[in-house]
Amino acid sequence: MSHCTSLPVCEILVGELISRRKLHLSHALKYVGRPDAAEDILQNTALKCLSSPPQTPPDSPRCYVSRMVRNAAIDYLRKHAREVSTSFEEEGQLARAGTTSLCGHVCLEDKQELAAVARALSRLPARKRDAFLRHRLSEVPQKRIAEELKVSRALINVMIKQADRHCAMALTEGDAAYGAQFFAQ
pLDDT in tens, 118-144: 899 999 999 999 999 999 888 999 999
Phi, psi of 172 (to 5 degrees): -90, -35
Please tell me the predicted confidence (pLDDT) of residue 5.
45
Select from 177, 42, 45, 48 the least CA-distant residue to 111: 48
Distance (Å, whole) CA 115 – CA 108 = 10
**Dihedral angle sign, alpha carbons of residues 9, 15, 16, 18:** positive
Mean pLDDT of 96-108: 61
**pLDDT above 70 covers what percent of the chain?**
76
Residue 22, pLDDT above cutoff 80: yes
pLDDT in tens, 47-72: 888 888 888 888 999 999 999 999 99
**pLDDT above 90 covers what percent of the chain?**
37
Please tell me the predicted confidence (pLDDT) of residue 4.
45
Mean pLDDT of 3-19: 77
Confidence of residue 175 (pLDDT cuts 50, 70, 90): very low
Give ∠ CA 171-7-38 in degrees, rounded to 5.
70
> Residue 149: how many CB atoms within 10 A of its CB?
15
Listed by start position, the domains of the chain span 2-85, 104-182
Confirm or reject CATH 1.10.10.10 for domain 104-182, answering yes or no: yes
pTM of the model: 0.43
Distance (Å, whole) CA 81 – CA 156 = 54
